Amino acid sequence: METVYFIAGDGIGPEVMSVAQEVVKEALKLHNLEQAITWQELLAGEKAFQETGEYLPEETLATLKRARFAVKGPLTTPVGKGFRSLNVTLRQTFDLYACIRPIRYFQGVSSPVKHPEKVDMVVFRENTEDVYAGIEWQANSSEVKKLISFLEQELNIALNPESALGLKPMTEKGCKRLIKKAIEYGLQNNRKSVTLVHKGNIMKYTEGAFRNWGYELAREEFAGKVITEQEAQENKKGLVLKDRIADAMFQEVLLRPEEYDIVATTNLNGDYISDALAAQVGGLGIAPGVNKGDNLAIYEPTHGTAPTIAGQDKANPCSMILSMAMLLRDMGLSKVAFSIEQAVEKTIAQKTVTIDLASQMEKASVLGCKAFGERVISNLA
């Protein structure tokens, strides 16, 4: 028995959360595992604000500190100066350094490419470093002027005095722990390769270091299990570690998607490539995800709160359902996860889908969020 904490989220969050929980409950029942999960709600977002006057109550943070598994719906980032995104706060507070997004094709979904079924990848994106650290200074501010003059006087770097500046911090520890997660996943799941995606030809000491630290880690910790592309050509067996320059990788995944499997990459590259890949399979709205640290994993859909359709039973719950399938797999309940994924696949192939997917398909029947969940449950096997 494992406690799974859930944050229903804002907007369409509560709708997709309850449908996905229902699917999980029925799938567990089918496998005689009803007792495997105890659900416990935690407050965050607008519901928390209404009930406690805080968007992220201390009690939620204290509980998550001791937790292993949590699922969350999307949370609104209230617009207004100084308010940090709750999502970013959760990631930073619990050091959830790996954002993991599996990307595959579901038969019947409309895609912009000829062979979307050739895409079957898992993106591991570093979540805590890089230009995403948000350390930047506005052009002409007193801070940026100080920094520009420091750089000029101390390091002999001449910058246009009108420049805005941002920092790109990256550490060996930060890069290696992300790449380690990707390699471990590859080995555990019998995958073929891990590709380090970087822009090291231009940014040698940050992006280039990411690549070098990746190969170093493989030599230090995975000798005999992880091999280079060169060794693969010499017919050695193992998980192949390769690297590609980010811009070339965007071409590669369009032209030769079957040659790529797991992608390990830096924060900004990962942001771009995971959305591009999800779009390639037509699945931007249905892609699942998880943010993981060493102790806690928070599973969540990759879409936002979709405020314009909230409360109307129109939301597509696939992303939430598939995120829960990832949770089940990590809990060691792979069979249940597989049942759910198969049932989602079947429901989409039957062209009984929510309006967002139906509007892209020919002759599809439109179901509401709840009815879609019920159809998935009836397709469980």
**Does the annotation count 335 as an active-site position?**
no
- Paired with 4 in beta bridges are 39, 69
Residue 179 vs 324, nearer CB to ligand NAI: 324
Instruction: Name the minimum Å distance from CB 53 to ligand NAI.
Output: 20
Q: How far apart are CA 302 and CA 319, in angstroms?
A: 7
Q: How far apart are CA 172 and CA 217, in angstroms?
A: 10
Using the contact rule CB under 6 A, the part of the chain among 25-33, 180-188, 311-319, 330-338 near ligand NAI is: 311-319
Assess contact for 28 and 332: CB atoms under 8 A. Answer: no
Neighbouring CB atoms inside 10 A of 65's CB total 11
Instruction: List the one residue from 18, 21, 60, 76 that touches ligand NAI (CB under 6 A).
Output: 76
Instruction: List the one residue from 100, 179, 309, 333 that touches ligand NAI (CB under 6 A).
Output: 309
Ramachandran bin of 306, using left for φ above 0, alpha for ψ from -120 to 50, beta for the remaining angles: left
Instruction: List the one residue from 200, 323, 356, 380 that touches ligand NAI (CB under 6 A).
Output: 356
60 binding ligand NAI? (CB under 6 A): no
Q: How far apart are CA 141 and CA 144, in angstroms?
A: 5
Instruction: Name the minimum Å distance from CB 31 to ligand NAI.
Output: 27
Instruction: Name the minimum Å distance from CB 29 to ligand NAI.
Output: 25
**Does the annotation count 132 as an active-site position?**
yes
**Does the annotation count 120 as an active-site position?**
no
Q: How far apart are CA 309 and CA 20, in angstroms?
A: 18
- Paired with 71 in beta bridges are 6, 299
Instruction: List the one residue from 306, 324, 328, 376 that touches ligand NAI (CB under 6 A).
Output: 306
32 binding ligand NAI? (CB under 6 A): no
Residue 240 vs 278, nearer CB to ligand NAI: 278
Half-sphere CA count of 93, side-chain side, radius 13 A: 17
Residue 200 vs 301, nearer CB to ligand NAI: 301
From 55, 97, 105, 132, the catalytic residue: 132
Number of residues that bind ligand NAI (CB under 6 A): 19
Assess contact for 144 and 321: CB atoms under 8 A. Answer: no
77 binding ligand NAI? (CB under 6 A): yes
List alpha helices for the chain, DSSP H: 13-30, 46-52, 58-66, 86-93, 142-155, 172-188, 207-221, 229-233, 246-255, 267-280, 318-330, 334-349, 355-358, 369-378
Residues in the site for ligand NAI, rule: CB under 6 A? Answer: 12, 16, 74-77, 87, 285, 300, 303-306, 308-309, 315-316, 319, 356
Any idea which residues carry the catalytic annotation?
A: 132, 199, 247, 271
